[in-house]
Amino acid sequence: MAAQNKAESGSEEMPAATPTDPSAEQKERLIAAVKKEVKQLMEEAVTRKFVHEESGGVTALCGAVESCLGQGLRRRALGLFKTSSTTALLHKIAKHCPEAALVSARVLAAEGAPATRSASGVERRPSAPRPPLCKRGSGSLLSQAPPTSRYLWIRIALFERQLAKIIEHLVNNANRYYERDALVADPDYGSILSSLLVGPCALEYSKAKAPACFWTDPPADELVQRHRMSAGTTTPPSVRRPILNFKRSLNASSDDGSAISTGTGKAAGSSAKDYVESLHQNSTATLLYGKNNVRVQPKDVEEPMPGYLSLHQTAAGLVIKWTPNQLMNGYAESEGIDKSVYWAMSLQVCVWEVVYVHVHRSQASDALILVGQDGVQRPPIHFPKGGHLLSFLSNLETGLLPHGQLDPPLWSQRGTGKVFGRGRARRRPMPSLCESGETEEPEWEETAGDYVFRIVNNAIADREAMRHSLLERAVQSPPRTPRRPLASTSTTSSDSSTMSVDCPPSAGLNGHPPLTPIPHQPVEQAASIELVCSTMRRQIISRAFYGWLAYCRHLSTVRTHLSGLVHPNIVPAGGAEGGLTEERWLAMTDESGAIHDKDEVYRLVYYGGVQHDIRRHVWPYLLGYYEFGSTAEQRVEQDMACRRQYETTMSEWLCVEAIVRQRDREATAASIARLTEASGKLKPSDNNDASEVFEDDCSVISDNPPIVSPEPSENEQKRPDKPVLSRAPSIDEVDNIEMDSERDKETKQNGETDNSDNKELDVDSLKDFDDDDVHLKSVVENPDMRRESIAEIKRLAEGIVQKGDGRGLLCSVDSAHVNGSDFRSSIDENQPSPVQQHTSVIITNPSVDLAASGSPVSGGTTATVSPARSPLGVVREESQSAGASFDTLEPADRHAPDTRSNCVSPASSNGGVYSNELVESFALNLHRIEKDVQRCDRNYPFFTDENLDKLRNIMCTYVWEHLEIGYMQGMCDLAAPLLVMMREEASAHALFNSLMKRATDNFPSGQAMDAHFADMRSLIQILDCELYELMHAHGDYTHFYFCYRWFLLDFKRELLYQDVFAAWELIWAARHVSSEHMVLFLALALLETYRDVILANTMDFTDIIKFFNEMAERHDASAVLSLARELVLQVQTLIENK
């Protein structure tokens, strides 16, 4: 029993150290092992929420507990000899301890059905360090233990959650079962042991083979956490790579798949499933030979590991594969991370690349070593005794036919099948003299011996033979038997190295009749050795040369691709790590308030960021808004001018906004009216109707011709001077017209009004109101109110224009805005009956206007006092009063005519006849802006309604100035941190303007994004080719779409606000210090921070998107930033060195 053995070996060690000291040290060690395992298991439970029953952690813990229990056990006294002593102990205490009785019964049941516990579960996770005890116990002993019974009772007790109680029982009754100096009998250690196990006993254990929640989507957090655990205490992977990760697999000469995977993620790159499938007999490859438990010692592993060896015949030729057992059958309990270790170990050797097959036969096992064309040895393959090696070779020989063969061929022996050619057994050194061959040893199989076979490809050999026939003669090649005529078509690739290896004519090429050993002469031997040596020399030199050449080419690529990305001169960090503090800033400011040393500022910011308190003052410089060297006065002036400009622009678009609002309101009213009507009436609505409504809506929004209604009305005469009117006034008159003309046809149905569209101007827009009016009880009030409200807006607007004050305008916009949003709330109140609802829809419009008219009036006059009110806030305030205001304000006096005349002024005074297209395009942008502003960083306390309104103004102003660009999603995110920092609209806008000079190009209309992706590709390819290969292999995400948001928003969504500030400062400062494209290096740093997680989990395109989306705002920003700086430096040095 392994456990027993181990435990005993533990106790055997003990006496040496403990005759005097009662094994305190040993106990400490045992208990530490338990502690460690408990800790690991609990960690596993935390990350995964449950623990798999067959997890390595469980086994390890059980092992540790077993050793504790086994130590100092009074075996003799208790009569526990044969079986696992602790199991016997369990059965013994079952009489006294109910928990033990329960577990004991289970154990008996489980032993009765031995198949219950699958063997695969007992493997240890390779990445988890083995407990020290297991290390001490010899591996072979451990492995021989039948897994079914290993720690069985401890396992069951653990799963049944009884283990802690059983141990407690043992501890309490230790004197009966244990020696006095045993761990369990120790008052301290005993209780520690039982209390340690309380935790694991409380865990959930799962038997599920592949729990869906685990396999499908391990969340990003878990991946990172798991990686940290498995990585142990190592620090973040920032400095673990050399400056230029130029790796070239030694064997990757001709074919990617042909090489032994050299510990990189390449093997892992091919999907595990495909790999295992490829081991089967399938359409592309014939399985010639398969043997399990063939041992190979991969790199970095201490002893050979068993695995499955297979020989496949593919179209290209023979392939030998070896796969560790862990990959073959241990899939259930292992994890992705652990697997990768094994993937790296698996072997794949293409036979056509192998030249020599060395066989070393010893008493222990038969080893087979493949030597490639390049002279590199593959790891030895150890076959179990019993003729397996021979059968492998005979299969290999068969597989090589018809185009190739083993040289010398295997000896065919009647009855026993093939044997090793007797005469070919060679002693080292390798090309030794042949033996006479007549000593026929019957037990040759038992004797140790070395054999060398050459794999001959006839196709190549033929060609080579032709080419080198002269040479051969020159070196006195022995007389050869004539070659068999062979197919001259070569299926295998042959390069120069193949030829040179094949050319030595020492070994007979082919065509020897089997069973005949070649008689070699000494002269020929010497010549051949010479030739082999010269060939090797040549190869070594050429390899070195090609390596150097490739490296040079590589570097030149680096230079051409990357020299544009960084500045050639490296600015040293010396003393700048502290960043730009307030003291330094003040020290740099001269008496006129000017800052001159811009290089120093940039350098400080680049290496250390800006102290938060002075960010507000520094940012304008960093963004290039303030000039370095400008005096305080100049800057104040600049600010003033900027604000004036800002306010002027704002007043412009606010006018347009008012128009847009009005249109919106009508459009909404129209569609709602339409909708309610459709539902309320028995109108036979059909397809046409549906689309018609659409068109109607459109017409309301856009098709309204901005012309003056020729309809004679009192108001009309007062504005003969304006040829084009904004939409708002036209409604007024429409209403008036309607009052007179439409009231009489109240009872008519809607179809008729539709028809009248052509006759009456503006009727299309009226129509909806017509319909509504039909149902209105209080039609009379309606137009008046509406007129008043519009007049109100205009009056306000005018007042503002006169004052030149942006604030006032805001208020008027508020009032306009209320209209749109408020009727919603009044609908709520009036919801119950359709008729009522219908009415309310119509009435609300004016009613809110009225309600709003109260405050905006004062707002207009005392514009400076009233703060810019957010639409949202207004909605909240006004919605409560909406219902009431309707009644109270109903008898509003009709002073419309007077105010009406003023209404033209805002538009005209701003030069403002706005074309329909302009209004429309602004309307479109406005709606988008509002949608996005409302949901911009709502979780961040700064963004109250008031500040959101500022953000909206910044956006609108920018878009108004850049209508050709328009609003694009993401602009809000870029402006938000600026506003947070500057607090003030005008300056935030100015900074945003500067920021957008660079950022505009990132948006879909620009080209920068594609350039970023391309640069990222080159950078990764050069700085981390391992990662690049993974990205390339897995759904090829070298298009880097997962970085899209990073670049578009300058990492604003990836980092927390505080970190965004720092990251942005770095980006801005870097332009002048090290790189115009700091974003690239930040992205690279982010990627590199998690490269191990990405590689370990062989993430594909979707995995990586998900990973980074989940990791948003959880990065360690300062580490990322410094890694980014480091990467810049790497590239700079790389280019500098040439």
Partner 1 sequence: MSSRKKVLLKVIILGDSGVGKTSLMNQFVNKKFSNQYKATIGADFLTKEVIVDDRIVTMQIWDTAGQERFQSLGVAFYRGADCCVLVFDVTAPNTFKSLESWRDEFLIQASPRDPDNFPFVILGNKVDLDNRAVSAKRAQQWCQSKNDIPYFETSAKEAVNVELAFQTIARNALAQETEAELYNEFPDQIKLNANDNGRNRDGDNCAC
Site for partner 1 in 243-272 (CB under 8 A): 271-272
CB-CB contact of 371 with 356 (8 Å)? yes
The one among 108, 109, 210, 243 contacting partner 1 by CB under 8 A: 210
Q: How many residues bind partner 1 (CB under 8 A)?
A: 94
Q: How far is CA 362 from CA 373, 410, 446, 733, 883, in A?
A: 26, 19, 8, 110, 101
Residue 851: burial class (beta carbons within 10 Å; 0-12, 13-18, 19+)? buried
Q: Give the residue from 128, 154, 131 showing the smallest Cα distance to 55.
A: 128
Each as own residue / partner, the long-range contacts of residues 310-314 (CB below 8 Å, 24 or more positions apart, any chain) are 310/279, 311/287, 311/392, 311/395, 311/396, 311/399, 312/278, 312/279, 312/285, 312/286, 312/287, 312/288, 313/285, 313/286, 313/288, 313/399, 314/284, 314/285, 314/286
Q: Tell me if 330 contacts partner 1 by CB under 8 A.
A: yes
Distance CA 441, CA 418 (A): 15
CB-CB contact of 333 with 122 (8 Å)? no
> Which residues contact residue 288 at a Cβ distance below 8 angstroms, ignoring those fewer than 6 apart?
311, 312, 313, 318, 395, 396, 398, 399
Q: Which residue has the tokens 């020729």?
A: 710
Q: How far is the CB of 827 from partner 1 (least distance, A)?
A: 5
Applying CB under 8 A, the span of 32-40, 672-680, 764-772, 1078-1086 interacting with partner 1 comes to 672-680
Q: How far is the CB of 425 from partner 1 (least distance, A)?
A: 23
Per-residue binding letters, 388-417, with partner 1 (x by CB under 8 A): x-----------------------------
Per-residue binding letters, 211-230, with partner 1 (x by CB under 8 A): -x--xxx-------------
The one among 76, 82, 273, 1138 contacting partner 1 by CB under 8 A: 273
CB-CB contact of 309 with 291 (8 Å)? yes
Of 1018-1057, which residues contact partner 1 (CB under 8 A)?
1039, 1041-1042, 1044-1045, 1048-1049, 1053
Of 691-730, which residues contact partner 1 (CB under 8 A)?
693-694, 697
The one among 38, 51, 154, 305 contacting partner 1 by CB under 8 A: 305
Give the 3-state secondary structure of residue 931: helix
Applying CB under 8 A, the span of 320-328, 473-481, 735-743, 867-875 interacting with partner 1 comes to 320-328
Of 92-121, which residues contact partner 1 (CB under 8 A)?
119-120
Q: Tell me if 646 contacts partner 1 by CB under 8 A.
A: no
Q: Tell me if 672 contacts partner 1 by CB under 8 A.
A: yes
Taking the CA atoms of residue 1011, residue 1016, residue 1018 and residue 1022 in that order, the dihedral angle to the nearest 10 degrees is: 160
The one among 8, 123, 773, 1059 contacting partner 1 by CB under 8 A: 123
Q: Which is nearer to partner 1, 923 or 1120 (CB)?
A: 923
Distance CA 283, CA 682 (A): 68
Query: How many residues are recorded in the chain?
Result: 1138
Distance CA 507, CA 526 (A): 12
Q: Tell me if 780 contacts partner 1 by CB under 8 A.
A: no
Cα torsion 155, 156, 158, 159: sign: positive
CB-CB contact of 647 with 808 (8 Å)? no
Q: Which is nearer to partner 1, 296 or 531 (CB)?
A: 296
The one among 266, 422, 794, 928 contacting partner 1 by CB under 8 A: 928
Give the 3-state secondary structure of residue 1100: coil
| Consecutive H or E run containing 921 | helix 916-934
Residue-wise burial string across 854-863, b where 16 or more C-beta atoms lie within 10 A, e elsewhere: bbbbebbeeb
Q: How far is the CB of 670 from partner 1 (least distance, A)?
A: 9
The one among 35, 39, 567, 1106 contacting partner 1 by CB under 8 A: 1106
Q: How far is the CB of 784 from partner 1 (least distance, A)?
A: 25
Of 280-299, which residues contact partner 1 (CB under 8 A)?
280, 290-293, 295
Residue-wise burial string across 668-688, b where 16 or more C-beta atoms lie within 10 A, e elsewhere: bbbbbbbebbeeeeeeeeeee
Q: Tell me if 308 contacts partner 1 by CB under 8 A.
A: yes
Strand-strand pairing, 205-206 and 51-52: parallel
Q: Which is nearer to partner 1, 621 or 1046 (CB)?
A: 1046
Q: Which is nearer to partner 1, 50 or 331 (CB)?
A: 331
CB-CB contact of 782 with 846 (8 Å)? yes
Q: Tell me if 935 contacts partner 1 by CB under 8 A.
A: yes
Of 144-203, which residues contact partner 1 (CB under 8 A)?
144, 147
CB-CB contact of 386 with 405 (8 Å)? no
Q: Tell me if 328 contacts partner 1 by CB under 8 A.
A: yes
Q: How far is the CB of 492 from partner 1 (least distance, A)?
A: 28
Of 331-370, which residues contact partner 1 (CB under 8 A)?
331, 336, 365
Q: Which is nearer to partner 1, 141 or 471 (CB)?
A: 141
Applying CB under 8 A, the span of 198-206, 409-417, 674-682, 1060-1068 interacting with partner 1 comes to 674-682
Q: How far is the CB of 860 from partner 1 (least distance, A)?
A: 28
Q: Which is nearer to partner 1, 1110 or 1126 (CB)?
A: 1110
Q: How far is the CB of 572 from partner 1 (least distance, A)?
A: 37
Of 965-1004, which residues contact partner 1 (CB under 8 A)?
968-970, 972-973, 1003-1004
Q: Tell me if 919 contacts partner 1 by CB under 8 A.
A: no
Locate 622 and state its tokens: 């960093």
